[in-house]
Amino acid sequence: MVALYIFAAVFIKRAESKIKSQDGRVNVLILGKGGLGHAGADLTDTMMLASVSLAKHSVNLISIPRDIWIPEIRAKVNSAYYWGKEKPEFGGGLSFAKKNVEAIVGIPVNYALVLDFSSFKGIIDALGGVEIDVANSFTDNLYPIEGREEDTCGGDKEFKCRYETIYFEKGVSYMDGTTALKYVRSRNGDNDENTDIAREARQQKVISAIKSKILSKGTLLNPFKLYKVWKVVRSSIETDMDFFSMIVLGREMLNVDGNIQSSAIPEGLLINPPESQKYDYQYVFTPKVAGNWGEFQNWIKDLIK
């Protein structure tokens, strides 16, 4: 038994020496994409930076709005992963996404991982569902039905057959994977739930709920459930983290003991310029001072110091 503890201590020490970090922090870019069967399968509509403090045993989760405009590629930041895969000179999807997010946040991004929404759903179902505290009741009458994106709806000019109505009531709700997926993907809800800021807050709630369920005794002490989750994760997540990095970060997630702070970019740090040729007539976000992310980067540094 003593020999086992010594081996574990030596192994962890070796893993810690190999992980990439700055000033005791490991920054991981978490990307969520639609995946096969969805329009824009490789667009990462969920973007979040997880800054893990190895010294404080804490995690800062920072949502990155998908509509941030990147002049260098004349596209939104949520397309960086796609263009990185399409153009070999960009160095790959994960690498190019990290490079563009680094330019925005002003701190190194050590690792990245991307999962598609089907795996997001699968993880929740493997866990037996998650508990979500819905902040606002809202209705979305235009939630897209998977597989009907090109349906002509028998000539209906409003294409009503492509959409369904979904409703969420304020309060604690237990959601399976399908319901949680609709909760985080909804874009046309009423009651101020139709903004990127609101959607990012919902995403953070669900990610936090998944984390809590995985680290609960009911999961950690249930090998069958852990195996089901691992099968989904192993088959559906792309990452540039090596085995040692996963070990260290996995241990840190066990040690944070609820010390996780979720943050969305304050609205005052971004502007939504009028749709114009400059932005290919798209809805985008830019920094208040054109081309200068300094104010936002100072906010991030204050947040994680």
Residue-wise DSSP of 120-187: HHHHHHHTT-EEEEESS-EEEEEEEPTT-TT--GGG-TT-GGGEEEEEE-SEEEEE-HHHHHHHHH--
Element (H, E) at 270: strand 270-271
Measured in whole angstroms, how far is the alpha carbon of residue 158 from the centre of its chain?
A: 32
The count of domains in the chain is 1
* Residue 4 pLDDT class (50, 70, 90 cuts): very low
Q: Specify the residue for token string 């992980």.
A: 19
Mean pLDDT for the chain overall: 86
Q: State percent of the chain over pLDDT 90.
A: 49
Q: Specify the residue for token string 């709806």.
A: 153
Query: What angle do helix axes 196-214 and 117-126 make, rounded to 10 degrees?
Result: 40
Closest CA to 237 of 129, 118, 102: 118
For residue range 87-129, list pLDDT tens digits in order: 999 999 999 999 999 999 999 999 999 987 777 788 899 889 9
pLDDT of residue 245 exceeding 90: no
- Mean pLDDT for 147-164 is 91
* Residue 168 pLDDT class (50, 70, 90 cuts): very high
Question: 163-168 and 138-144: which strand pairing?
Answer: antiparallel
Report residue 224 as tokens.
């069958």
* Residue 5 pLDDT class (50, 70, 90 cuts): very low
- Mean pLDDT for 164-189 is 94
Spatial separation of the C-alpha atoms in residues 37 and 158, rounded to whole Å? 22
CATH number of the domain encompassing residue 159: 3.40.630.190
Measured in whole angstroms, how far is the alpha carbon of residue 214 from the centre of its chain?
A: 17
Contacts of residue 219, defined as CB under 8 A and 6 or more positions apart, other chains included, come to 127, 213, 225, 226, 229
Q: What are phi and psi of 154, to 5 degrees?
A: 60, 30
Question: pTM, whole model, 2 decimals?
Answer: 0.73
So what's the pLDDT on residue 38? 61
Spatial separation of the C-alpha atoms in residues 157 and 218, rounded to whole Å? 50
* Residue 16 structural domain: 2-304
So what's the pLDDT on residue 3? 47
pLDDT of residue 298 exceeding 90: yes
